Structure 1
Amino acid sequence: MKGVLLVNLGSPDSTEVEDVKKYLDEFLMDERVIDVPWILRAFIVKGIILRTRPKNSAEAYKRIWWDEGSPLIVLSKRLREKVEELVSVPVALAMRYGNPSLLAGLEELHKKGVTEVLLIPLYPQFAMATTETILVLAEKLRRKYFSGMSFTTLPAFYNHPDYVRVLSVSIEESLRDKEWEHLLFSYHGVPERHIRKSDITRSHCKINGECCRTPSPAHQFCYRHQCYETTKQVASYLGLKEGTYSTSFQSRLGKDPWLQPFTDKTVAGFAESGTRKMAIVTPAFVSDCLETLEEIGMEAKEDFLEKGGEEFHVVPCINDREDWVKVLARWMDEWANREEETVTVKK
């Protein structure tokens, strides 16, 4: 029997400091998030970050928390419920960090008699700190608890025509009655070393711009290339003129080199250089969350306005849009109705 497991990032169980601390501990101690030896990672996370950051993060979560709970969890549940109504196979939901856990999601499918699982990481672009860590943990759990299960993984869909169309239409609808001078595509940042570690050719990625434009097998797992390709394809779909849009990367931790340009500096730079009306979209996220609602919708907006900007339009994530629900359902049905095939994923 076949079934589907949707997997998103996760969220604290509440805005209480202890719950946020527990969540950050699980998240940041992942060796594919902070990819340094365990002893150094423990010193950084437990000895430094968890001493101060939980309180500040708890305050940030309070700013965006809904009556129903974490926006990311609520929106993910809505997505699962809508999709399941359209498909003939069971659909479960899990989070890589926090609850419902990956183990709980697989157990739910197991109890329904599912032996073939389609894993759908809810990330359009592949990254070792997002998609890869889901696949690694899922395989670990399969070997330990569900040896009779087999997995197929939906590949990164950053350039899939269906996804590009849904994202483009969402932008078009959100900005239809608004004036804007520049549209910024803001993706979550990752350390540059993650890009090099994901290079299956071990030589292609130089992070100089040219490598992302040069065809290579490395692009299958190159987060930077996939982000710029999403921007390129959406801009083409919408007919955007050169100079009216750009790409940046938000959120960074520590002093190591991260992907640039940085979103916060980019937003401030546009305001200071005379841009008065700006729009921003966050295509690395399928569901609105702390990084979109607070970091972009509040902090970036406040910074833009303080530095002279007048209007700052934030395009919502595709969340549980009906066209996105139908696309996911069709992908699931296509998988469920075809013969078994081998899918190669990066381990």
Structure 2
Amino acid sequence: MNDKLGLPVGTTLDRFIMRKQEDFPFATGELSQLLRDIALAAKIVNREINRAGLLDVTGAYGQQNVQGEDQQKLDVIANIRFIRALRNGGEVCTIVSEEEDDVIQTGNTKGKYIVAIDPLDGSSNIDVNVSIGTIFSIYRRVSDNCTDGTMDDCLQSGTRQVAAGYVIYGSSTMMVYTTGNGVNGFTYDLTLGEFFLSHPNICTPKTGNIYSINEGSFNSFPEGVKQYVNYCKDNSYSARYIGSLVADFHRNLLKGGIYMYPQTAKAPNGKLRLMYECNALAFIVEQAGGKATNGSRRIMELVPTELHQRCPLFIGSTEMVEKVEEYLKAEVEVN
């Protein structure tokens, strides 16, 4: 099986990035190197995760992040690893991380890129060996080079992304990313220390029979979401909810389905973060033929006003996302 450039399954990530460089609007090598830096950090984090049970790095760290969520020890470790790789790589001027209150200036004032990252999504699941992941979003800076990045550099809409991806650490470790020319997945071979192309040109099904949502919050869902969940049950859809965003998204991307995290009474603006969770996955799913909205608007058209802004998310197979939008629109019209 080959991709559109004739690269066979089993091609290394480095070779794939090199061959794909001509697809980038600014093909001078920096974005290629940045993707390699992220892959390197992912390999290191994968090692730490696989040794977590033996090195006493599972469990809570004893502090909370800016969202008021308890940090896990591996949250802190992953955050350090990715920041260090991005700083040392030299291509990034500013980083937005879930684990940091403010932006991180790398000191690379000539760096052309901004990275927004969730270093370890779903980390509370580590203790019970459930799949977790890393999510990243990459933007070109809009400010002049030779200075630190600005808030204008960071607060760009998802339509301005030049690349986005995720790494899933599970039964196998995979890196999936897009630069706006389709979606490709790479599986990590631990024995060789390399990511190899395993899922070329990923296309998500137009519809599916899997719905993923935390039904424990059903009573506080918007009425339109309740009706859609009941529609899924009436049509014998399968409920699949891991509670790890990357894992739920990855399964639905490959098999067809919808992931939903609506606003609730407890989280009136939704829970997921726009900049380093929703935008990245929205870019990926659209490139794979799917759809991502906040229930009424395309996720990537939302312009963030703060670093850790939250928003509802409905993402996955196009027909399924459009169906839940119909229920939500009907709810608004009734009210």
Same fold (TM over 0.5): no
Name the structure where helix makes up a greater proportion of residues: 1
TM-score interval (norm. to shorter):
under 0.3
TM-score (norm. length: structure 1): 0.25
TM-score (norm 2): 0.26
